[in-house]
Amino acid sequence: MHQLDLKQLQHLEEYGYLVVENAIEPENILDPIMTEYESVLDSLATKLKSDGKIDSLHSMLSFGDRVTKIYHESNSIHNQYFDFSLPQKGITKDTPFWAGPAVFDALTNPNLLDIVESVIGPEIYSNPVQHVRVKVPENKAPRDSGGNVIYGATPWHQDLGVVTEEADGTDLLTVWFPLMDTDVENGCLQVIPGSHRDKVLTHCPGAQGIQIPESLLDPDKARAIPMKRGSVLLLHRKTIHSALPNRSNRIRWSFDLRYQPIGQPTGRETFPGFIARSALDSSKELHDPVAWFQMWKTARDSLARDDDPSYNRWDANHALCA
């Protein structure tokens, strides 16, 4: 069992975050994910070359160098090809996503669920607001017409701020982990310790996603969280956090997962979650990665036929967003 001890739980309660070292086994969990994504990158490169967006498949490069080269050469971000969630708008029957078995194994890893259980209890639901993030070095990143990095540093936000109000009472736990070492240079996360004791703050829509106006927070209180491969970062649902820009020559590659007690609102009900663990009725647990993929495919097909749902509670015309 990988349950947290009292000291760790007290740290999470007091500061709103906790790093758990050696929480998942890189060889059994992270390496298969990286291998799986190499095939996804193969498919992306083949399509882009066929469409004339790149001149070469760059197949001799490592994953990090290859994805950087492909993003730079095509001057586009293609993260949706790797993501195991869907975008919030503009979904079509061809919108790409990746819900492969190695990713599913990570979401349902017993060691990870042990840690989650020690925080929210044994009835665990995998919340569908989850992402893989591949951030290439900013000096090689695609830029918009104004010269701004298209997919750069993640702005200050709370994870409750990216779901609808119905989930404000949900005991949501974020589990973030890198697939390779992260540090200040390549864009690790930073948190404002103790900020989870405040309310859900106003968020403003922006080019890099919704963000808390800096007038509502004190960035000088932020603490950067470098992490080794195999470690996980737990975040309270109201902890204010962001990601630093990637100033290195390496990619920053991470998983952003969320869990909650079974039966509570997810804040994004049109996306499929699942029961990852249940002490009351283990027969309801999902153990089939193919079924998980099909759930996302069904959601994509349904959303492609309908108008875009609203996932954002925030008003860009709010006085704080001016």
Give the per-residue pLDDT at 205: 83
Taking the C-alpha atoms of residue 322 and residue 316, their distance in angstroms, rounded to an integer, is: 8
Taking the whole predicted model, whether its pTM rises above 0.85 is answered as: yes
- Mean pLDDT to the nearest integer, 291-314: 91
Do residues 259 and 126 touch, judged by C-beta distance below 8 A?
yes
Domain assignment of residue 114, given as a range = 6-305
Taking the C-alpha atoms of residue 204 and residue 316, their distance in angstroms, rounded to an integer, is: 6
The answer to whether residue 297 sits within a structural domain is: yes
CATH number, domain with residue 151: 2.60.120.620
The answer to whether residue 115 sits within a structural domain is: yes
Which tens digits make up the pLDDT trace of 191-207? 999 999 989 999 988 77
Lateral strand order in the sheet of 124-135: 17-20, 232-236, 173-178, 252-261, 124-135, 274-277
Give the per-residue pLDDT at 1: 63
Give the per-residue pLDDT at 122: 98
Is the pLDDT at 208 greater than 80? The verdict is no
The answer to whether residue 190 sits within a structural domain is: yes
The answer to whether residue 316 sits within a structural domain is: no
The answer to whether residue 320 sits within a structural domain is: no
Which tens digits make up the pLDDT trace of 221-254? 999 999 999 999 999 999 999 999 999 999 999 9
**Percentage of the chain lying above the pLDDT 70 cut:** 100
Taking the C-alpha atoms of residue 175 and residue 155, their distance in angstroms, rounded to an integer, is: 18
3-state secondary structure of 82: coil
Averaged confidence pLDDT in the chain? 94
The answer to whether residue 168 sits within a structural domain is: yes
65 φψ region: left (φ > 0), alpha (ψ -120 to 50), beta (else) = alpha
Which tens digits make up the pLDDT trace of 112-160? 999 999 999 999 999 999 999 999 999 999 998 888 888 888 999 999 9
The count of domains in the chain is 1
- Mean pLDDT to the nearest integer, 10-38: 97
Give the per-residue pLDDT at 317: 83
The answer to whether residue 317 sits within a structural domain is: no
- Mean pLDDT to the nearest integer, 294-300: 97
The answer to whether residue 319 sits within a structural domain is: no
Which tens digits make up the pLDDT trace of 61-78? 999 999 999 999 999 999
